[in-house]
Amino acid sequence: MDITCMKAKRLQLDAEVILLHFLFHRRLPLHADAHQPSKRRKKNFANLSQCYDGYHDCPCSPSSYENENKITIRNFSKQTAYHKLAIIVPFRDRFEELLDFVPYMGHYLNLQKVSHKIFVINQVDNFRFNRAALINVGYLESKSECDYLAMHDVDLLPLNPNLSYAYPSKGPFHVAAPNLHPRYHYPKFVGGILLLTCDDFQKTRGLSNRYWGWGQEDDEFYVRMRKAGLNISRPQNITTGYKTFKHLHDSKKRRRDTSRFFNQHYISSHRDYETGFDTLAYEKVSQYDLSVNGSVAKVINIRLSCDLSKTPWCLQKQDHNLAKPYL
């Protein structure tokens, strides 16, 4: 089953898709003023939602995989009905993956009867991508509505319907366990998909805000969870192995930003005792409701702040001259 089978339908969206693609890909200058989108753009955004909602014949859904893999859905705890899950998606430049992610996860969670809301935290500044800071933003923006959260990569879709997204009352629950994730298998890996209650997330102060570029923020968060006395659990009796998830990442089209500048390597290799969600500075530029094939996500456009005297590696390589006065 090809999870990208909706692409044929997208050809009919034409100008509307181009407009939404622009909204997700736009960048703001490092010191530019933030502008709200025009009424015309908001109207077109709504038109896209209405247009896309008309396509319901694509067989991309968890139920399709039930028949293909002969997996049955187990009964999930009724306690889930009394809780609400925030799916927090740190995002930048993954438009195609997002159009797959939103309807797929909406249907997947509805099958488990998990009350949820998808928050797409879209970084629109010119700094390097900061997944950890965006997750912290997601927690701050969702905690008034939801009592637990999933730190969820946009390019990772669960294929096995027996993976539970229920309320993790006994501590953090790592859905994308090392023995199941299609790429990362080291014992302390907690990336991909991780569920925590908001109370447990608060105990850790969230993730470090120092990780600009790709990698290592999950490893530091593992240490934070252990120091907070949290016990991490993982799925049991899942027999689908490395075929448990669909990994949508194309390394040829989207190369990871793994560069290390200045003293970034040294700082990133040590525990951060200073930063967390309670020290995060950001600006909410705008927000939209995105409806794709009947599922809705709240898109929040975010501009992060960077203290160049502490993390000059937040800048892209071509902007490093701007950091010299702070070093």
Domains and CATH numbers, the chain: 7-27+36-251+258-326 (3.90.550.10)
Task: State whether the Cα torsion 38-294-24-44 is positive or negative.
Answer: negative
CA distance 61 to 66: 9
Q: Choose the weakest-confidence range: 13-27, 135-149, 207-221.
A: 13-27
List, in sequence order, every beta strand (DSSP E) within 70-224: 85-91, 116-123, 148-152, 156-158, 173-174, 193-197
Specify the pLDDT at position 256.
65
Question: Which of 11-25, 39-53, 144-158 comes out lowest in average pLDDT?
Answer: 39-53
| Max Cα distance, the chain (Å) | 61
Q: State the average pLDDT for the chain.
A: 79
Cα separations in angstroms, 109 against 150, 267, 308, 323: 12, 38, 41, 44
How many other C-beta atoms can be found within 10 angstroms of the C-beta atom of residue 272?
A: 20
- Side-chain-side CA neighbours of residue 82 (13 Å): 5
pTM of full prediction above 0.85 = no
| Better-predicted residue by pLDDT, 67 or 281 | 281
For the segment 255-267, the average pLDDT, to the nearest whole number, is: 64
